[in-house]
Structure 1
Amino acid sequence: MTEYERWLSVDLDDKDLTEELLSVQNQPEEINDRFYRNLEFGTGGLRGVIGAGTNRMNVYTVRKATQGLANYLIQTGEGKPLSVAIAHDSRNKGVLFARESAAVLAANGIKAYLYPQLMPTPALSYAVRHLKCDAGICVTASHNPAKYNGYKAYGSDGCQVTEGMADGIMAAIEALDIFADVKKIPFDEALAAGKIEYIGEETVSAFIADVYKESILGKPADNLKLVYTPLNGSGKMCVLRILDKIGVKDVTVVPEQSEPDGNFPTCPYPNPEIREALQKGLELCETVKPDLLLATDPDCDRVGIAVNQNGTYQLMTGNEVGIVLLNFIAQCKTELGTMPKDPVAVTTIVSTDMVNDIAKDYGIEIRRVLTGFKYIGDQIALLESEGHPERYLLGFEESYGYLSGGYVRDKDAVNGSMLICEMASYYKEKGMTLIDAINELYEKYGYYKNDLCNFTFEGEDGMKQMNAIMDGLRTNPPTEIAGFKVIGNSDYKLSVRTDGEEKSEITLPKSNVLEYRLENGSKLIVRPSGTEPKIKIYLSGKGKTREESEEIIAKMKAAATALLGL
């Protein structure tokens, strides 16, 4: 309440915030939710609801975060000239937050390179590396609903910040007063003085060119017909450019979702993982009859698809696309004689186990990392440091993130769109769809089915409930789930894997994740989201038939609520 009253007493330069604060004067619960904590800065940066308060995304929390980043860079920069690249997507207040970030950096003597138009998140990762910057900022809330915005921070390698750097930036942020300790300079003044510089077309063209270098086929994918939706986000320009380069000319863009709009009026939850977000595209498919519907999320780092299967459009999961992509890349490189020695693919602990079987057939080493593409980026960097970047074939997450090259250190839906279209073209020449391709793999390797349960916990009480649930599971782990005995579990926070009576160390970084392995070969993973007030439960089941695997998943899904004690 004291902080709320302090904000009311300050002459805020964003008058929308003052009006908002006045509108909640007699709502103690609303005031508490806005001020009970500061937005937490972690490896995912900041993410929150747009609005007034310390627990909201606004110009003051963004400026404070940027001042903390500036102080951290100055403290660790050994006196050298510093620079930071900045991008934003179509989110409300995105332009404002990007400009304010640039102005704070400029006031601290740090050169800011700013994309003058909205750009995909991977293009920000690319700019950090291409312009040899010390850090990067992307103003985005990825696929969250319209009320959110966020602030992703990147290191000089183009990866989202690691735990150590995030902790250092967080400490620098916490040492600041949100009003008194932030340095400011007018944006236009800094731009005129050369302290802020717009990122030019040369960088954008270089990004597209490096994506194109990852082309697998080496010939035009000109037999495809597409419907594409950028979901009112930042993907349109870059995705259409790469599709044109690989020869995909017949592309119809969903008109209602073609242009940037942070309100996402036709897809309130702009996530290509869910059918509702693709509904306008699916409706257009009924008229256009394309081979494929392609959808990128607002910051264009994830891509989802629906496949024309005998006139019906079937969605494919992120796991399924990752499986078919790995098989396609390995098969093509083997056919072309370009498969590297000791190839490596990287995926996460929550992604499908089916990749293990495919990898074994092609002699590919599978590396499992924590959720978060920065960990996949770390593996790319490790291969580069060993002098063998060519060993890296593909990195993918079950949440629709893919990357086949080392030119960026984040998932890239521009790259993913190109690979998926080349793959669809390849199978079309064989008289197959991507659904046919995944079914062929299921027939060969068994029916691996995966699902995801989301449980939402809003506000301060929700945060406490989430923590209590995780503590309870950690203290009293289940002995059976959905009628199946738990034969092993892994606690990634305590770095301990238990198999029967045997315990072993998990060598990955610590993370608040719990995994349960069941007697039938299935597994269930519990993980609080790093970007939303949710607990996610990842389900993995394998059966001899599609029906058997779906039945196993249904049983586990029914047991998930009870597992959390809800």
Structure 2
Amino acid sequence: MTGTGGGQGGGDLLAEARGWLAQDPDPDTRAELSELIDRGDLAALEDRFRTKLEFGTAGLRGELGAGPNRMNRVTVMRAAAGLAAVLGPGRHVVIGYDARYKSDVFARDTAAVLTGAGLHASLLPHPLPTPVLAFAVRHLGADAGVTVTASHNPPRDNGYKVYWGDGSQIVPPVDAEISAAIDAVGPVDRLPLHAPGTLTELGEEVVAAYLAAVTSLPLGEARDLRVAYTPLHGVGAATLDAAFRAAGFEPPVAVVEQRDPDPRFPTVSFPNPEEPGAMDLAVALAAKLRADLVLANDPDADRCAVGVPLPDGTCRMLTGDEVGGLLAEHVITHTTGDRMVATTIVSSTLLGKIAQAHGVRYGETLTGFKWIIRAGPGLVFGYEEAIGYSIGADAGAGADARLPVRDKDGIGAALTVAAIAATAKRTGRTLLDLLDDQARRYGLHATSQLSFRVADLSLITAAMSRLRATPPTTLGGRAVTRADDLARGDGGLPTTDGLRYHLAGDARVVIRPSGTEPKLKCYLEVVIPAPDDVPTARTNATATLDTLKTDLTTLLAL
């Protein structure tokens, strides 16, 4: 997350840059910064030093490079020192990392700072999916966890995410405490590093424990399924392959060009399965294989995309809400006892209806898995529309025992979706048939998104201000029946920067800035009650969503 700050005079700016250079242990960023100083490139220095990456509930995320407004070894060591100060000596932190540029270096820097401060650090053995780290925190009884990843951000980005001892992402006030401790850190070249005997280099046993946990999810008995898969140059392939084998499935056939980790992400514009074109190679592979299912993970494998190949060689990609509905009903029907399912304010309203029909509790939270996972006791399934899911099972006493991973888990989700698809295949059906069944039972809940990526974050601020000053009275030809300003706490949730419009005819629009990318995001939903003719209902719903998108594009002027 990037903060704001005022400009500086050239002399002050050069002095700050030289001070940063003096403590920087990385030859790459030292060379970059030295060149900028030698050239007197004040514009480039201003961009790197006029503000800083702010530590928040999403941790740190930003472009690699020199200076406080970039991800680099100094930034990471300061973050580790701040975390160490909040935790205190003697505490245990597990560290994981993905395969992006510098991720392994940042992970070892974190270990060096933590152990130097008197903490015990355990380092995962190689680049692994984020859910393995989240699992390992509780499995090893650690006090916190750190993973170095920028998830699905562009190649030049990296990030730093912190988990607490319950295995979930940090929330306030812990984030503010760590941020304040980071601000108090002096030059990193003065930090004590590498206390002997306080670093554990973990082996494959922690991965084996994770695999045992996810293969204990409710997977049924059907295993006949052919899957085309892509990890999008990320770290998911080996773990997913091992999970499928351990569960008795034929391993997915991976897209060769995207199978191995590659921080360049050479075949995609953005390494995000939701972005246009990202799934093209997987869809082509599915057609070649005559596959039953298409699966994808994002680069750190905490999210899962799902598609159903069609006879004409194309593929129907499911929305996160559609997958969430299928997974929810599967988990509910394969678990017992007092249970809760939860999702966010921007996800479909379908989950609430499924929960009501099955007599389980339902929770609605702010966006982000850090909130979903805290929805309430007995949580057995949580999801967000951005293709993130946490799958639970019956696992003895205690609510925590239900969820092996208290965060998004793209491996566990892929495995469970495969189980649902294999069961459907036994009777000649697909996931699309199951979606039609749900539409008849609960009503067709059609959702879509509209995102605006900007170069200047002030454009998003201005757009939100315009909407608050002059709220729309109609959208997509439907009257706005109620407007909620989530920044005021409308709707009974903690405040967040967002607007929610309820429309006549059971439709809804939520508008909010992204928490991790320079985007303004719009979430659209249209509900058609229990249609007999589901295909026609889908066509009509899609037309309504398209009209809403056209109106929003004009309204937001981005």
Q: What TM-score does the superposition give when structure 1 sets the normalisation length?
A: 0.89
Q: What is residue 487 of structure 1 aligned with on the other side?
A: 481
Q: CA deviation at 1:342?
A: 4.1
Q: What is residue 351 of structure 2 aligned with on the other side?
A: 355
Mapped pair 1:464 → 2:458: yes
Matched-pair contact (CA < 8 Å) for 1:61–1:178? no
Q: CA deviation at 1:393?
A: 3.2
Matched-pair contact (CA < 8 Å) for 1:289–1:311? no
Matched-pair contact (CA < 8 Å) for 2:389–2:408? yes
Structure 1 residues 365-396: Cα deviation after superposition (integer angstroms, max 9, x where no partner):
221111111112113xx41xxxxx4xx33111
Unaligned runs of 5+ in 1: 75-79, 334-338, 384-388, 498-505
Mapped pair 1:556 → 2:556: no
Matched-pair contact (CA < 8 Å) for 1:493–1:510? yes
Matched-pair contact (CA < 8 Å) for 2:13–2:46? no
Mapped pair 1:473 → 2:467: yes
CA distance in 2, matches of 1:214, 1:533: 36
- Secondary structure at the counterpart of residue 484 of structure 2: strand
Q: CA RMSD in A?
A: 1.9
CA distance in 1, matches of 2:233, 2:79: 27
CA distance in 2, matches of 1:4, 1:534: 32
Matched-pair contact (CA < 8 Å) for 2:25–2:73? no
CA distance in 1, matches of 2:443, 2:267: 38
Find the partner of 2:388 among 392, 397, 401.
Answer: 401
Q: CA deviation at 1:23?
A: 4.7
Q: What is residue 144 of structure 2 aligned with on the other side?
A: 135
Q: What is residue 262 of structure 1 aligned with on the other side?
A: 263
Q: What is residue 83 of structure 1 aligned with on the other side?
A: 92
Matched-pair contact (CA < 8 Å) for 1:146–1:268? no
Q: CA deviation at 1:492?
A: 2.3
Mapped pair 1:153 → 2:167: no
Aligned pairs (5 A) from 1:322-471? 322-331=324-333, 333=334, 339-379=335-375, 382-383=376-377, 389=378, 392-405=379-392, 406-458=403-455, 462-471=456-465
Structure 1 residues 536-565: Cα deviation after superposition (integer angstroms, max 9, x where no partner):
111112246112211211111112223324
CA distance in 2, matches of 1:96, 1:113: 15
Mapped pair 1:17 → 2:29: yes
- Secondary structure at the counterpart of residue 279 of structure 2: helix
Find the partner of 1:216 among 216, 219, 229.
Answer: 219
Q: What is residue 200 of structure 1 aligned with on the other side?
A: 203
Identity %: 37
Count the aligned residue pairs.
526
Structure 1 residues 33-71: Cα deviation after superposition (integer angstroms, max 9, x where no partner):
222211011101000011112111000111111111111
Q: What is residue 336 of structure 1 aligned with on the other side?
A: none
CA distance in 2, matches of 1:341, 1:159: 23
Q: What is residue 7 of structure 2 aligned with on the other side?
A: none
Q: CA deviation at 1:109?
A: 0.7
Q: What is residue 56 of structure 1 aligned with on the other side?
A: 70
Question: For residue 15 of structure 1, what is the amino acid of its counterpart?
Answer: P
Matched-pair contact (CA < 8 Å) for 1:215–1:418? no
Structure 1 residues 426-462: Cα deviation after superposition (integer angstroms, max 9, x where no partner):
100121011122123224433322111111232xxx2
CA distance in 1, matches of 2:287, 2:153: 28
Aligned pairs (5 A) from 1:274-289? 274-289=275-290
Q: CA deviation at 1:5?
A: 4.1
Question: For residue 324 of structure 1, what is the amino acid of its counterpart?
Answer: L
Question: For residue 394 of structure 1, what is the amino acid of its counterpart?
Answer: F
Question: For residue 204 of structure 2, what is the amino acid of its counterpart?
Answer: E
Q: CA deviation at 1:22?
A: 4.5
Q: CA deviation at 1:354?
A: 2.0
Q: What is residue 503 of structure 1 aligned with on the other side?
A: none
Matched-pair contact (CA < 8 Å) for 2:331–2:391? no
Q: What is residue 386 of structure 1 aligned with on the other side?
A: none
| Stretch moving more, 171-180 or 132-141 | 171-180
Q: What TM-score does the superposition give when structure 2 sets the normalisation length?
A: 0.90
Matched-pair contact (CA < 8 Å) for 2:17–2:49? no
Matched-pair contact (CA < 8 Å) for 1:135–1:154? yes
Matched-pair contact (CA < 8 Å) for 1:233–1:297? yes
Matched-pair contact (CA < 8 Å) for 1:309–1:433? no
Q: What is residue 319 of structure 1 aligned with on the other side?
A: 321
Q: CA deviation at 1:468?
A: 2.7
CA distance in 2, matches of 1:72, 1:330: 39
Matched-pair contact (CA < 8 Å) for 2:131–2:302? yes
Structure 1 residues 454-481: Cα deviation after superposition (integer angstroms, max 9, x where no partner):
11232xxx22332233233334332222
Unaligned runs of 5+ in 2: 1-9, 393-402, 532-536
Q: What is residue 109 of structure 2 aligned with on the other side?
A: 100
Q: CA deviation at 1:200?
A: 2.4
| Stretch moving more, 285-294 or 305-314 | 305-314
